[in-house]
């Protein structure tokens, strides 16, 4: 099965006015993700399709800290016509397309920062496009949603194939079938047994992307450029740190890959094995008058979804479930209830 062909826009140089391309003739795509979802590989495949397949000039690179699951990742892809040159390798601050692999990242003000007016943002989410428009709170752009995680689960693939299909549809100047063939070639070199399943994910991501114009709200904020807290004129004497870091206020919800543990206290025997294997001390316990220590619940603010607890639980009281918006907040038992006015609930 081949993906339906996207409407192909001409590249800069073929016409005098090409909607969507930057004034410099460059088209920028930014993937917002976390480690483990495959955004880096998706960017590589997209760039390869455009450069080796479509004959454009292009570049791709990723930006990330420690290479581990759950840590922030950005992948950047630039395209321009063959007669032009790409003379920069800095992060894309004014993308035409932003693709968000992890729905929790939508809560970050920087996820759509710099998106050009008339651009497109695609989010991995089961929400309706109108709902996502409201959550993003930006106008003058096109908002797309695709339930990439559901597609990946049903096809037994990673998320990136479905999101690559959605990206190919959002970038209408690219031949979707060309991206599809590149995906098959790259996977076939090392994992030929998974090619067909990933192609199905790609096709579904392309077909199931839902797009809607977001007309309400202001245009996305300008480029997000982190700045140091102090300059040399106002730096504290001796480099004193007045606001030290604290793990109490941390929020690991954006590290989850779409799953978390669900606790059924009726099945729980309070053995504590879950607490032993939990790397982030998510479980909340209380000591009764009798001296017995019993499990009260889970503080999902500190849960990164490693699911070690579900594997260690001997009674089935802890089960892996797909995370839905608002579920963690509704079932969260605060670990530090006296600090609730200071701690942000995920």
CA 153, CA 159: separation in Å to the nearest integer?
Answer: 8
| Tens-place pLDDT, residues 305-314 | 999 999 999 9
List alpha helices for the chain, DSSP H.
39-48, 129-136, 148-155, 159-170, 176-190, 195-208, 273-277, 308-312, 327-331
Same domain, 57 and 172: yes
Question: What is the span of the domain harbouring residue 270?
Answer: 247-339
Residues 200 and 284 reside in one and the same domain: no
| Same-domain check for residues 80 and 185 | yes
Contact 99, 31 (CB under 8 A): yes
The pLDDT, as a whole number, for residue 210 is: 96
CATH number for the domain spanning 299: value is 3.30.70.20
Residue 5 lies in a domain: no
Residue 233 belongs to some domain of the structure: no
Residue 190, domain CATH: 3.40.920.10
Q: Angle, nearest 10°, between helix axes 195-208 and 176-190?
A: 150
Closest CA to 98 of 80, 84, 118, 82: 118
Do 160 and 71 belong to one domain?
yes
Residue 237 lies in a domain: no
What tens digit of pLDDT does each residue of 38-81 get? 999 999 999 999 999 999 999 999 988 766 677 889 999 999 99
Residue 259 lies in a domain: yes
* Pair 188, 322 in one domain: no
Structural domain includes residue 2: no
Judged on CB neighbours under 10 Å (0-12, 13-18, 19+), 204 is buried
Q: What is the pLDDT of residue 47?
A: 96
Q: Which residue has the tokens 């791709």?
A: 60
**List of the chain residues with pLDDT < 50:** 1-19, 343, 345-346
162 within domain boundaries:
yes
Q: Residues 112, 138: contact at Cβ < 8 Å? A: yes
Q: Provide the 8-state DSSP code for 273.
A: H
Q: Let me know how many helices (H) and strands (E) the chain has, helices first.
A: 9, 11
Residue 339: its pLDDT value, please? 77
User: In this structure, is residue 238 part of a structural domain?
Assistant: no
Total number of domains in the chain:
2
301 falls within a domain:
yes
Residues 157 and 292 in one domain: no
Residue-wise pLDDT tens digits, 208-232: 999 999 877 788 888 877 777 788 8
Distance, in Å, from the CA atom of 95 to the CA atom of 208, rounded to the nearest integer, reads: 23
């Amino acid at each position: 099965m081949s993906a339906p062909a996207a409407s192909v826009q001409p590249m800069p140089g073929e016409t005098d006015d090409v909607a969507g391309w930057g004034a410099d003739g460059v088209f920028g795509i930014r993937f917002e993700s976390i480690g483990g979802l495959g955004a880096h590989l998706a960017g590589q495949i997209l760039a390869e399709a455009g450069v080796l397949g479509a004959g454009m000039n292009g570049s791709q690179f990723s930006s990330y800290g420690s290479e581990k699951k759950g840590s922030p990742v950005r992948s950047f892809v630039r395209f321009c016509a063959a007669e032009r040159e790409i003379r920069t390798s800095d992060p894309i601050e004014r993308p035409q397309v932003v693709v968000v692999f992890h729905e929790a990242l939508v809560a970050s003000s920087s996820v759509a920062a710099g998106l050009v007016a008339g651009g497109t943002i695609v989010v991995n989410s089961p929400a309706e496009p109108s709902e996502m428009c409201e959550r993003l709170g930006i106008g003058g752009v096109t908002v797309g949603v695709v339930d990439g995680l559901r597609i990946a689960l049903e096809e037994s693939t990673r998320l990136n194939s479905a999101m690559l299909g959605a990206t190919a549809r959002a970038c209408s100047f690219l031949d979707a079938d060309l991206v599809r063939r590149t995906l098959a070639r790259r996977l076939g070199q090392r994992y030929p047994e998974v090619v067909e399943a990933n192609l199905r994910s790609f096709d579904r991501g392309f077909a199931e992307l839902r797009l809607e114009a977001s007309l309400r709200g202001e245009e996305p904020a300008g480029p997000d450029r982190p700045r140091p807290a102090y300059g040399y004129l106002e730096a504290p004497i001796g480099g004193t740190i007045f606001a030290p870091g604290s793990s109490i206020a941390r929020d690991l919800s954006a590290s989850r890959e779409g799953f978390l543990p669900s606790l059924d206290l009726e099945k729980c025997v309070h053995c504590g094995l879950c607490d032993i294997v939990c790397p982030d001390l998510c479980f909340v316990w209380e000591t009764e008058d009798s001296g017995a220590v019993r499990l009260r619940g889970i503080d999902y603010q500190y849960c990164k979804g490693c699911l070690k607890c579900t594997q260690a639980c001997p009674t089935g009281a802890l089960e892996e479930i797909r995370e839905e918006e608002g579920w963690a907040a509704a079932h969260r038992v605060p670990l530090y209830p006296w600090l609730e006015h200071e701690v942000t609930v995920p």
